[in-house]
Structures are given as structure tokens and as C-alpha cells.
Amino acid sequence: MTNCIEIKGLCKSYGDFALKNIDLTLPGGSILGLIGENGAGKTTTIKCILNLIRRDAGEITLLGYDNIREERLAKADVGLVLDECFFHDTLRAKDVGKILAPAYKNWDGALFRSYLDKFGLPEKKLIKEFSRGMKMKLSLSAALAHHPKLLILDEATAGLDPVVRDEILDEFLGFIQDEDHAILMSSHITSDLEKVADYIAYIHQGEVVLSDAKDNILDSYGRVGCTAAQLEAIDPHDVLRTRRGTFGCEALVRDRAAFARKYPMLMVERTTLEDIMLFVGKGETK
């Protein structure tokens, strides 16, 4: 099966910030969650994928097509929901369908209207009167209405209430049931990714510092709570990152089970993606 996204050695420098050798693969039938702090390089990576900015090095293929040499073919089956609603306030939902229909060979007007119905979006209401949730649902309807094989979502669920987020996540899970479909989803809301993602890539300061199956990460990584003295006694090779607070210390470990066998006196528990981000973002190496 062709990978829906393949990124090899992607580099992009802005002078004070650079994406360094990004390698990512998104197999069909799966969701890849892209996590990272603000300014870590998630949106820059997505912009490179969409050829919105020039890359300095590397190769990107979308659904088997080179994203620059075969740009139109590469983008033909891609649905996009970016961090904002890009449709003008003075337009109505039905206008969006008319604008986008000629851009996509597979545009399905009936499907677009069915999504508008499903999400409860009035066709004739001005977009400026839509709430943020409604705007994102409109963007999603537009992204899905041409039967895409790949969805690229940049902070698509940011700023939405849990009910709307859940509704949209359900839609993503439905989309992914087809083995040829895949989703690349960047998000700060790590709990959303824990719900739906199959793979996680963590970008930190322009580099991929963690890329693995989500279940592997959550099943193997662990968080150790201990005192400063106990932390000192741990072999530095057994911990990835540490955090020292007023009331104690914490450490992130790669192999929870192995750590528990080696240090039976220390409590090691499951960790979350948010914990891992906090350890990498705010912690230090031992």
C-alpha cells in the first residue's frame, strides 16, 4: 500500500528557526498526530507539505505524487482544514460549495449539502454569523465534499468545546475506516490525539524528537515520582528527562516495565502525551 504522506529529510530555515531533517511517514488507514509547542515547526511542516513555502532540502510525496513536481495531482485528493476559517465573512455556506466545486474534479455537491445538514449549518446564513465551531464544521464539510483520501488538519479542533470536538473526532474516525484514507492532524489538545491517533510525531524546536505508534508510546513510557535524593541515585541512562519541583522530582522513562524491575522501590506510572511534552519542553536531561 502507498503511504499517504512520505517526508524525507525536510529542512527549512528562517534564520532564527529551522526545521531539521524531518522524516515522517503516514500509512493508509491511520491518523498521525503531530504535537509540539507553539513555534515548534508543526505549521511550517504542514506549509511545506502543501507547498505554501519553499523547502531548503528534502522530499515530500502525497498519495504517491511529488508535492512540487506533481502539485495538482498530489493535492487533488487532499482535504484541508487549517487553523482558521478562510472563507470570507460576507459569503454563505452555499457560496463556498459554488466556489470550490470547479477546483476539485470529484466535488460532490450533494455530499457537501449533506454535511451541512449533518452539522446543522444553515446554507443561507452569512459566515460572519457562524460561531467558531460552526466555521470549523464548514471547513470540514468543504474538506470532505470531494471524497478526499487524505485529510490535513492544522489545529482544526483548537478553541472548540468538548461536544463539538467529540463530534468532529467521530467524523475523523469514520473517515479512517477506509484503508486508503489517512489523516495528518496537528494539535495542542493531546487528549484528542490520545483518543484517535494511531501514530504520534513530536516536533520540538524544529526536530522530530519522538515518532512512534501511539500505543507503543503510552504502553512503554512512564513517569517516576521521587525525591531529589532518589533521583540522584537513578542511573542517568535510565531516564530521558527530569523535572525538579518544590515538593519533589519527576522523571520520564522510556521503558516503564524495565525501570520498575530495576528500581522496585520507586513508583512508575503510565504517562500521557501532555506529560511527555512537559518533560521535553520544561524538563532537563539528568
Partner 1 sequence: MTGLIWKDLMVSKRSLKAYLGVMIFYAILTIIDVFNVAFVTAFISIMLIMLPIAAFSYDEQAKWDRYAMALPVGRNKVVGARYLFTLLIVLGALAFSLVVGVIVSVTGKGDLLEVLVSSLSTLAIGLLIADILLPLCYKMGPERARPYLYALVLLPVLGLFLANRMGVHIDTSWLDRLAQSSPAALLGLCALPLLAALGLMLVSYLISCRITAGKEY
Q: Which residues bind partner 1 (CB under 8 A)?
A: 47, 50, 52-54, 71-76, 78, 80, 82, 84, 86-91, 95, 98-104
Distance in Å, CB of 285 to partner 1, minimum: 35
Distance (Å, whole) CA 171 – CA 31: 12
**Nearest-angstrom CA–CA distance, 241 and 236:** 9
One-character DSSP codes across 47-93:
HHHTTSS--SEEEEEETTEETTTTHHHHHHTEEEE-SS--S-TT-BH
Q: Which is nearer to partner 1, 63 or 208 (CB)?
A: 63
Question: Which CB, 101 or 209, lies closer to partner 1?
Answer: 101
Which is nearest to 274 in space by CA: 36, 43, 24? Answer: 36
Closest CB 42 distance from partner 1, rounded Å: 15
**C-beta of 151 vs 200, nearer to partner 1:** 151
Supply the DSSP symbol for 268.
E
Stated length of the chain: 286
Tell me the closest approach of the beta carbon of residue 120 to partner 1, in angstroms.
23
**4 versus 76: smaller Cβ distance to partner 1:** 76
Shortest Cβ 136–partner 1 spacing (Å)? 14
Rank residues 136 and 273 by Cβ distance to partner 1 and give the closer one.
136
**Nearer Cβ to partner 1, position 143 or 249?**
143
CB of 252 vs partner 1, minimal distance in Å = 36
**CB 219, min distance to partner 1, A:** 36
Q: Which CB sits closer to partner 1, 37 or 71?
A: 71
- Name which of 215, 144, 213, 131 is nearest 174 in CA terms: 144
Q: Work out how close the CB of 260 gets to partner 1 at its nearest, in angstroms, rounded to a whole number.
A: 47
Exposure string of 87-117, with b = 16+ CB inside 10 Å and e = fewer, is: beeeebbbbbbeebeeebeebbeebbbebbe
Q: What's the Cα-to-Cα distance from 74 to each of 49, 71, 137, 149, rounded to whole Å?
A: 10, 5, 24, 11
The label of the residue with cell 455530499 reads 111
What are the residues whose beta carbons fall under 8 Å from the beta carbon of 216, sequence distance 6 or more? none
